[in-house]
Amino acid sequence: MRIDKFLSNMGIASRTESSKAARQGGILVNGVAVKGADVHIDPDKDEVIFCGRKIEYRKYTYILMNKPDGVVSATEDGKDKTVIDLLPEELQKLNLFPCGRLDKHTLGLVMLTDNGDLAHRLLSPKHHVKKKYFFESKFPLTDEEIKYLEAGATLEDGYITKPAEIELCADKKSGYITLVEGKYHQIKRMLESVNNKITYLERVTFGPLVLDESLARGEWRFLTKNEIEQLETYK
Ligand code: URA
């Protein structure tokens, strides 16, 4: 791969910036300054230093974010801040997108990637990726309501939800709900089907990924190798 392509794919520098840096001796490959940005490298083997910074190659980028309130999980929005806006400029240049949507006022785990095949597989209804949410509701939930919501609630448009799991806290107004699907406003609509209302919603898992407690709202980190492997092999 040409070094200018490598650097632009990683969001580090445009082709023009790479040419300029190469002319100024700012790009080292295995410790040696390259004369032009058209030099070919093996991204898996060669060590690249751009303006003093070691650049690790990633074929795809995978990010775990703790979404704050009021931010939309989309790539662009005319009105609101998006999850992409929370990333540094370098990552904003990549074609990252959120793998699945959370509502504007839902908090918690969002995975972003530029690996379309993987995202497509994880989001396909065939895959039943489990997603667990912590919720708070306006009114306590009864045992009958829990049974009904777990077995499959009928939403206002007639859709019957797939079986869900609910673990209720002692106050009966909060707990965890695990879904294997992701219909529009699903949990809100499920609670509405029993004349209740969601007052707080936070996603805590997505398939094998668990919300990282060390990430404050709005913070993100790259997925670990192990997390990527788990996603790739998730059944
Ligand atoms: N269900 C909802 O109602 N909202 C979300 O953001 C996710 C699941």
Q: pLDDT of 126-152, one tens digit each?
A: 888 999 999 999 999 999 999 999 999
For residue 103 and ligand 1, the question of a CB distance below 6 A is answered with yes
Per-residue confidence (pLDDT) for residue 143, from 0 to 100: 97
Taking alpha carbons only, the member of 64, 67, 32, 26 closest to residue 47 is 32
The answer to whether residues 119 and 214 belong to one domain is: yes
Retrieve residue 95's tokens: 């074609």
The answer to whether residues 70 and 180 belong to one domain is: no
Residue nearest to atom 3 of ligand 1 (CA): 185
Q: Which whole-number Å values give the CA distances from 43 to 10, 56, 91, 114, in the listed order?
A: 11, 8, 18, 18
Q: Which residues sit opposite 40 in a β-bridge?
A: 2
pLDDT tens across 214-227, in order?
A: 999 999 999 999 99
Q: Would you state the torsion angle of the CA atoms of residues 200, 206, 208, 209, taken in this order, to the nearest 10 degrees?
A: -70
Q: What is the chain's percent helix, strand, coil content, to nearest 5?
A: 25, 25, 50
The answer to whether residues 69 and 47 belong to one domain is: no
Retrieve residue 10's tokens: 């990683």
Per-residue confidence (pLDDT) for residue 195, from 0 to 100: 98
The CATH number linked to 225 is: 3.30.70.580
The answer to whether residues 47 and 70 belong to one domain is: no
Mean pLDDT (whole number) for 90-116: 96
Average pLDDT, the chain: 96
Q: Are strands 220-222 and 48-50 parallel, antiparallel or unpaired?
A: unpaired
User: 189 C-alpha vs ligand 1 centroid, how far in Å?
Assistant: 9
pLDDT tens across 145-187, in order?
A: 999 999 999 999 999 999 999 999 999 999 999 999 999 999 9
For residue 188 and ligand 1, the question of a CB distance below 6 A is answered with yes
Per-residue confidence (pLDDT) for residue 30, from 0 to 100: 97
Q: How confident is the model at residue 79 (pLDDT cuts 50, 70, 90)?
A: very high
The answer to whether residues 170 and 199 belong to one domain is: yes
- Residue 64 CA to residue 205 CA, distance in Å, equals 11
The answer to whether residues 214 and 198 belong to one domain is: no
The answer to whether residues 17 and 76 belong to one domain is: no
- Residue 194 CA to residue 13 CA, distance in Å, equals 54
Q: Are strands 97-98 and 209-210 parallel, antiparallel or unpaired?
A: unpaired
Q: Residues 38, 46, 103, 212: which is the catalytic one?
A: 103
Domain that holds residue 17: 3-55
φ/ψ of residue 6, rounded to 5: -55, -50
For residue 109 and ligand 1, the question of a CB distance below 6 A is answered with no
Edge to edge, the sheet with strand 48-50 lists: 32-33, 27-29, 48-50, 53-55
Identify whether the C-beta of residue 28 lies closer than 8 Å to the C-beta of residue 35.
Answer: no
Q: Which residues sit opposite 33 in a β-bridge?
A: 28
